[in-house]
C-alpha cells in the first residue's frame, strides 16, 4: 500500500490568460488530496472516493471509467472525478511499463471539487505518485507534473495549462508561461479563501473565454493585459524577502493588482454573483485585494489579509458557505505514512457502506 498527497492551489494572478501563453503565478496552499493505492492481482481498478463534495462513492471497473457509479450527485462532477483518476492510472501504467496493472484506490481530499483550488490537479498528482511507487518506480516531482499535465490535458480536451499540475507537484509559489515552468521565491502571503459551496465547469468557462478572445480584439487585449499584471506582480515578489513577513507596501500593491485581475476576469465573463459578492465583502472588510481563483463560475475567491477581519466578514456574507485561512504549502507531492492496521480495517468497513 502506498499513500501520497499533493496540495491544492490559489492563483495569485493569471488564470485563463495562462491557457493562451501568458504567465501565471499560482501558489500551493495547505489543503491536500491524499491518494492510497494498493496493487491488485488482476487488472481491475477499484476506486473509493470520499470528501470530494460528492457524498462518497465507490466504483469498480476494469481499465476504463465506462462504468459510472450510481450515486445521487451531479453527473458532471462524478464524470470529472472519475476521468481524472482514470487518466492518472493510465499515466502510472505507462510510466512503469505495466499496462495491465490493477489497483485499489482511495481518494480523500479536503479541497472542494471544481472550486478553483486545484482539486483535480492534486488528485492526479498524488495518484500518479502513489501508483508509480506501488509499481516500484519513483518519479521526480517534475516528471509527475509533466504526466499529470498530460492527464489533465486529455480530460479537459486539450484546454489545460501546466499551471495547476506543476504547482501541485512542486509546492510553493510557481511561475508558468507555456511550457516554461519554474518555482519562484515568495514570502508567506496571508491568504484568506471564501467558498460559495459551488463549482464551475472549467471546460465551458475556458471555451467561453476562447470564443470571446477570437471574436473581439478587446477581449484578446484583456487576456494580454492580465499577462501584464502577472509580470508586474512577479516583479514585486522577486524584490521581496521570501523569509520575512511581507511588508505592507508589498501587500498593498499585490492587492491592487489582484483587484485589477479580478475586474478583467469579470469582464471575460468568468465571475459570478456569489464570487463578486465575496470579493466585495473581502475588500470591505479591509483585505488588501481579492479576486476569484481558478476557472471561476462559482467556487472560491482568494483575498490578502493578515488580520481576522476578512474571514469574519466573509462568514457573514450571503452566498459564502465557508471562509478559511490557507498557508502557503511549501511541500508539493509527498509520500505519506500508510495507515496502521487498525486504520485500514476501519477503511474497509466504509468501502462496503459507500458502495
Q: Provide the annotated binding site for ATP.
A: 112-122
Question: Which one, of 84, 292, 76, lies nearest residue 204 by Cα?
Answer: 76
Q: What are all long-range contacts of 162-165, with beta carbons under 8 Å and residues at least 24 apart? A: 163/11, 163/14, 163/15, 163/18, 163/24, 163/26, 164/9, 164/26, 164/118, 164/120, 164/121, 165/121, 165/124, 165/125
Q: How far apart are CA 97 and CA 101, in angstroms?
A: 9
Q: Which residue is nearest to ligand MEV (CB)?
A: 161
**Residue 177 touches ligand MEV, criterion: CB under 6 A:** no
Nearer to ligand MEV, 172 or 246 (CB): 172
**Residue 168 touches ligand MEV, criterion: CB under 6 A:** no
Question: Smallest distance, Å, CB 272 to ligand MEV?
Answer: 14
Question: Smallest distance, Å, CB 352 to ligand MEV?
Answer: 34
C-alpha cell at 297: 463560475
Q: How far apart are CA 103 and CA 86, in angstroms?
A: 11
Question: Smallest distance, Å, CB 174 to ligand MEV?
Answer: 12
Catalytic site includes residue 164? yes
Half-sphere exposure of 281 (CA within 13 A, CB side): 27
| Residue selected from 45, 54, 89, 160 as contacting ligand MEV according to rule CB under 6 A | 160
Number of residues that bind ligand MEV (CB under 6 A): 12
| Residue selected from 80, 113, 122, 206 as contacting ligand MEV according to rule CB under 6 A | 206
Signed CA dihedral, 330, 333, 335, 339: sign only: positive
Contact mark string toward ligand MEV, 289..328, x via CB under 6 A? -----xx---------------------------------
| Residue selected from 2, 132, 202, 274 as contacting ligand MEV according to rule CB under 6 A | 202
Task: Choose the stretch contacting ligand MEV; rule: CB under 6 A; options: 36-44, 157-165, 248-256, 275-283.
Answer: 157-165
Nearer to ligand MEV, 22 or 104 (CB): 22
Nearer to ligand MEV, 28 or 206 (CB): 206
Which residue of the set 104, 129, 164, 305 is catalytic? 164
Query: Are the C-beta atoms of residues 176 and 163 closer than 8 Å to each other?
Result: yes
Question: Smallest distance, Å, CB 202 to ligand MEV?
Answer: 5
At which residue does the C-alpha cell 471539487 appear?
Answer: 113
Residue count of the chain, please give it: 355
| Residue selected from 53, 119, 161, 272 as contacting ligand MEV according to rule CB under 6 A | 161
Task: Choose the stretch contacting ligand MEV; rule: CB under 6 A; options: 11-19, 39-47, 69-77, 240-248.
Answer: 11-19
At which residue does the C-alpha cell 459564502 appear?
Answer: 320
Q: Which residues fall within 8 angstroms of residue 69, CB to CB, at 6 or more apart?
A: 57, 58, 59, 78, 82
**Residue 80 touches ligand MEV, criterion: CB under 6 A:** no
Query: Are the C-beta atoms of residues 333 and 168 closer than 8 Å to each other?
Result: yes
Question: Smallest distance, Å, CB 110 to ligand MEV?
Answer: 17
What are the backbone dihedrals phi and psi of residue 50, each rounded to the nearest 5 degrees, phi first? -135, 165
Question: Smallest distance, Å, CB 69 to ligand MEV?
Answer: 24
Q: How far apart are CA 41 and CA 47, in angstroms?
A: 15
Nearer to ligand MEV, 208 or 319 (CB): 208
Query: Are the C-beta atoms of residues 2 and 223 closer than 8 Å to each other?
Result: no
Contact mark string toward ligand MEV, 14..43, x via CB under 6 A? -xx-xx------------------------
Query: Are the C-beta atoms of residues 270 and 206 closer than 8 Å to each other?
Result: no
Catalytic machinery residues: 164
Chain positions contacting ligand MEV, by CB under 6 A:
15-16, 18-19, 160-161, 163-164, 202, 206, 294-295
Amino acid at each position: 500500500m502506498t499513500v501520497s498527497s499533493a496540495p491544492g492551489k490559489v492563483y495569485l494572478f493569471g488564470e485563463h490568460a495562462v491557457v493562451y501563453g501568458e504567465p501565471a503565478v499560482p501558489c500551493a496552499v495547505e489543503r491536500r488530496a491524499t491518494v492510497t493505492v494498493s496493487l491488485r492481482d488482476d487488472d481491475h481498478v477499484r476506486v473509493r472516493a470520499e470528501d470530494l463534495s460528492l457524498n462518497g462513492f465507490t466504483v469498480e471497473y476494469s481499465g476504463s471509467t465506462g462504468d459510472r457509479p450510481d450515486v445521487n450527485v451531479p453527473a458532471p462532477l462524478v464524470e470529472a472525478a472519475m476521468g481524472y483518476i482514470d487518466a492518472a492510472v493510465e499515466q502510472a501504467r505507462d510510466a512503469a511499463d505495466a499496462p495491465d496493472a490493477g489497483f485499489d484506490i482511495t481518494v480523500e481530499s479536503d479541497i472542494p471539487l471544481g472550486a478553483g483550488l486545484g482539486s483535480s490537479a492534486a488528485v492526479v498528482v498524488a495518484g500518479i505518485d502513489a501508483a508509480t511507487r506501488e509499481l516500484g518506480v519513483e518519479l521526480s516531482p517534475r516528471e509527475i507534473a509533466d504526466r499529470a499535465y498530460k492527464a489533465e490535458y486529455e480530460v479537459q480536451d486539450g484546454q489545460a495549462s501546466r499551471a495547476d499540475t506543476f504547482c501541485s507537484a512542486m509546492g510553493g509559489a510557481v511561475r508558468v508561461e507555456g511550457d516554461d515552468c519554474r518555482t519562484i521565491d515568495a514570502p508567506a502571503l496571508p491568504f484568506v479563501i471564501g467558498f460559495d459551496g459551488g463549482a464551475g465547469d472549467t471546460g465551458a468557462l475556458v471555451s467561453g473565454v476562447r470564443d470571446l478572445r477570437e471574436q473581439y480584439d478587446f477581449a484578446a487585449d484583456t487576456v494580454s493585459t492580465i499577462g501584464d499584471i502577472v509580470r508586474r506582480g512577479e516583479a514585486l515578489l522577486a524584490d521581496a524577502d521570501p523569509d520575512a513577513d511581507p511588508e505592507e507596501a508589498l501587500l498593498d500593491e499585490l492587492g491592487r493588482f489582484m483587484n485589477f485581475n479580478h475586474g478583467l476576469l469579470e469582464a471575460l465573463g468568468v465571475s459570478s454573483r456569489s464570487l463578486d459578492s465575496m470579493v466585495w465583502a473581502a475588500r470591505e472588510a479591509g483585505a488588501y485585494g481579492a479576486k476569484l481563483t481558478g476557472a471561476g463560475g462559482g467556487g472560491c475567491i482568494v483575498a490578502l489579509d493578515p488580520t481576522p477581519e476578512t474571514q469574519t466578514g466573509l462568514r457573514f456574507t450571503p452566498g459564502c458557505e465557508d471562509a478559511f485561512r490557507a498557508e502557503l504549502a511549501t511541500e508539493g507531492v509527498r509520500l505519506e505514512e500508510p495507515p496502521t492496521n487498525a486504520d485500514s480495517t476501519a477503511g474497509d468497513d466504509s468501502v462496503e457502506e459507500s458502495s
